[in-house]
Amino acid sequence: MTLYRLQKLIYELNRDRGVQEAFTLDRENLLSRYRLSEEEAEAIRKDDIGKLYILGVNGQILMHFAAWRGFAWDEYIQAMKDALAEHGQVRDGIYAAVDDGEGGAV
């Protein structure tokens, strides 16, 4: 259930400028509204795109979120590769890596 709320936070950040402003002004206050696990909240605090991927955040919303947080395309792909090597396979959702995360157009 917390993954649902984590994804909802990112979904709302992606499409609502007001939520983006709240994120910029007082990230902790915004996070408190979504009742995330500590692991999820820490990944958001650190802009840890790779960890968010491993936690199971849907790739489409994570891709847009990463762009908003300033990740260039190659940095975004590399962040997921690095996290896969560090944490292992994606824990939930439909965006699990295949072929041990090899390949990709970087």
Partner 1 sequence: MSLVFAGIMSHGPGMTARAERADPAVRDPFYAALEQMREALEQSRPDALMVVAAEHFANFFMNNMPAYAIGMADEYDGPIEDPEWLRIPHRTIPGAADLSRRVIGKVMEKIDVAYAEEWKFDHGIMVPLSFLTPRFDLPVIPANINCQGPPLTPLYRAYEFGRAIRAACDVLPERIALVGTGGISHWPATPNSGKINVEWDREFLSRWTRNDRDALTAYTDLETLRDAGQGGFEIRTLIAVAGAGEGHTGQIWFCEPIPIFATSGFVAVMDVKPAF
Q: Which residues bind partner 1 (CB under 8 A)?
A: 4, 7-8, 11, 14-15, 53, 58-64, 67-68, 73, 77, 80-81, 84, 94-99, 101-106
User: In this complex, which beta carbon is closest to partner 1, that of residue 31 or of residue 83?
Assistant: 83
Task: Compute the least distance from the CB of residue 31 to partner 1, in Å.
Answer: 18
Task: Compute the least distance from the CB of residue 8 to partner 1, in Å.
Answer: 6
Task: Compute the least distance from the CB of residue 94 to partner 1, in Å.
Answer: 4
* Closest CA relative to residue 14, chosen from 48, 80, 70, 62: 62
User: In this complex, which beta carbon is closest to partner 1, that of residue 25 or of residue 94?
Assistant: 94
Alpha carbon distance 91, 46 (integer Å): 19
Q: Percent helix, strand and coil across the chain, each rounded to 5?
A: 70, 0, 30
Task: Compute the least distance from the CB of residue 42 to partner 1, in Å.
Answer: 21
The answer to whether the beta carbons of residues 58 and 95 sit under 8 Å apart is yes
User: In this complex, which beta carbon is closest to partner 1, that of residue 32 or of residue 68?
Assistant: 68
Per DSSP, the residues of 49-63 read HHHHHHHT--HHHHH
